[in-house]
Amino acid sequence: MNKKQIFLTVSIGTTIALIASTFFYKKTQYPDTVTGQIVTLKKLTLDSAVDYYKLLSKELSEFLELPENISQNYINQHIQIKFDKMQKNLKIAYNIWDNRDNRMVGATEIRKKDPDDPGQFEIWINENYHGGGRAQEAMYLISKAYFEANPTIKSYNAYVRPWNPRSLRALEKFGFKKSYDRVENGKTTDYVLELDRKTIENKTKQTGETL
């Protein structure tokens, strides 16, 4: 085989590989905006860092287990990491906007399962906007978008710290079921809960829609 033939073979092989990768890999498509009656979910952007930082009270920072006295630059990097993972199809992340006040009040996301980053679900809302059904509706909106975009996925999980009974109650109220406890050195570190597709299908039927 001469050099021209080798080059031709390599070129054809590379072209086939590129076509195959394009055909078999398709990035999961999520809507940019998901609108509810109480809140609207807007897909995370790098510009979100400014509003994100403004919402971080001491209470919320402790809830999110963030370092004390964090800077805007720290949050910029934090949002950049989230955004990069979205681009790699490793998560879907939305900001939660209050419809009445037309302002960002929290954030939520669902990550792909990763043994090095346990817990797929995250949601938080600034304490000034607790109550009023915002968290429950935000959970429904992101769950519906997630399952619609991933028709073969049957469930996703959430990890809750034992010192956080408020979040545990909110998740169970929404429809999460306890799966098991994570234990390290004989001590429970997290409660692991699961939300299955059927729960969202049933909630969707109640609205007269389909999943």
Give the CATH number for residue 154.
Answer: 3.40.630.30
Does 13 reside within a domain?
no
Q: Is residue 46 part of a domain?
A: yes
Contacts of 75 (CB under 8 A, 6+ apart): 49, 52, 53, 56
What is the rounded CA–CA span in Å between residue 108 and residue 72?
20
**What is the pLDDT averaged over residues 80-105?**
97
Q: Contact, 49 vs 59, CB < 8 A?
A: no
pLDDT score of 211: 78
pLDDT tens digits for range 6-65: 444 444 444 444 333 433 446 789 999 999 999 999 999 999 999 999 999 999 999 999
Q: What is the per-residue pLDDT across 114-146, written as a single tens digit (0 to 9) for each?
A: 877 779 999 999 999 999 999 999 999 999 999
Domain count, the chain: 1
Domain that holds residue 135: 26-206
Q: Is the pLDDT of residue 204 over 70?
A: yes
* 61 assigned to some structural domain: yes
pLDDT of residue 16: 42
pLDDT at 198: 96
Whether 1 is covered by a domain: the verdict is no
For residue 113, is it within any domain?
yes
Contact 143, 94 (CB under 8 A): no
In a domain, 7, yes or no: no
